[in-house]
């Protein structure tokens, strides 16, 4: 049990540029997704699904996102140069494997949509933990295309769905860097009555 505690205490994200081949094998990926599905889920709704982006699909997605980003820049009267285009082309091909965690809310009066979205976020975190436990690096991001309706469509996300995140996976080139973490006294307090503003 102490090994698990040590693992959780030292968890960190690997920069996407630090993720290289190999990606998880088919068996490992099945294990990762099985673990990612084992999260709190009020009402047993399974309000999430996973989209796997791999191989040449990542290149095709980059081309579509670059075109969409250029359209957005034009609509917003912003610059879009070769550097911007190159960045968009590589969005999904920087890591060997990308998994989209998609909140696909169920229509129910009992469980609010925000609670279903939280369950999707838990699935994303569990996915990262499972991949890390198998020795892979992970990086969980959203980015502009998560909130852009056309960007979502290009990525296979339906209009009624929300993106909880895109987890980039691969073998870390180097140990993941740590960053400053909050001191507990800054984020923990005992209840002291109704909020007064």
Find the CATH number of the domain harbouring 160: 3.40.109.10
Specify if 104 maps to a domain.
yes
Specify if 135 maps to a domain.
yes
Is residue 38 a known part of a binding site?
yes
Least Cα distance to 40 among 153, 117, 113, 93 occurs for 117
Specify if 49 maps to a domain.
yes
Specify if 157 maps to a domain.
yes
Q: Tally the domains of the chain.
A: 1
Is residue 16 a known part of a binding site?
no
Residue span of the structural domain in which 145 resides: 16-54+93-173
Is residue 142 a known part of a binding site?
yes
Specify if 99 maps to a domain.
yes
pTM for the whole structure = 0.94
Specify if 164 maps to a domain.
yes
At 52-110, the pLDDT tens digits run 999 999 999 999 999 999 999 999 999 999 999 999 999 999 999 999 999 999 999 99
Specify if 9 maps to a domain.
no
At 115-134, the pLDDT tens digits run 999 999 999 999 999 999 99
Specify if 115 maps to a domain.
yes
Is residue 10 a known part of a binding site?
no
């Amino acid at each position: 049990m102490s090994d698990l505690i040590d693992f959780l205490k030292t968890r960190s994200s690997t920069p996407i540029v630090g993720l290289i081949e190999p990606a998880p094998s088919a068996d490992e990926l099945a294990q990762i997704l099985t673990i990612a599905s084992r999260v709190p889920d009020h009402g047993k709704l399974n309000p999430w699904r996973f989209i796997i982006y791999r191989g040449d699909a990542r290149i095709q997605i980059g081309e579509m996102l670059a075109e969409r980003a250029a359209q957005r820049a034009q609509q917003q009267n912003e610059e879009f140069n070769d550097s911007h285009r190159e960045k968009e082309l590589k969005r999904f091909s920087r890591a060997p494997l990308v998994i989209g965690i998609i909140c696909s809310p169920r229509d129910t009066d009992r469980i609010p949509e925000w609670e279903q979205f939280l369950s999707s976020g838990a699935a994303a975190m569990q996915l990262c933990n499972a991949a890390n436990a198998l020795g892979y690096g992970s990086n969980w991001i959203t980015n502009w295309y998560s909130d852009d309706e056309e960007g979502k469509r290009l990525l296979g996300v339906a209009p009624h769905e929300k993106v909880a995140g895109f987890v980039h996976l691969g073998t870390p080139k180097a140990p993941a860097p740590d960053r400053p973490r909050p001191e507990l006294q800054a984020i923990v307090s005992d209840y002291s009555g109704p909020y007064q503003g």
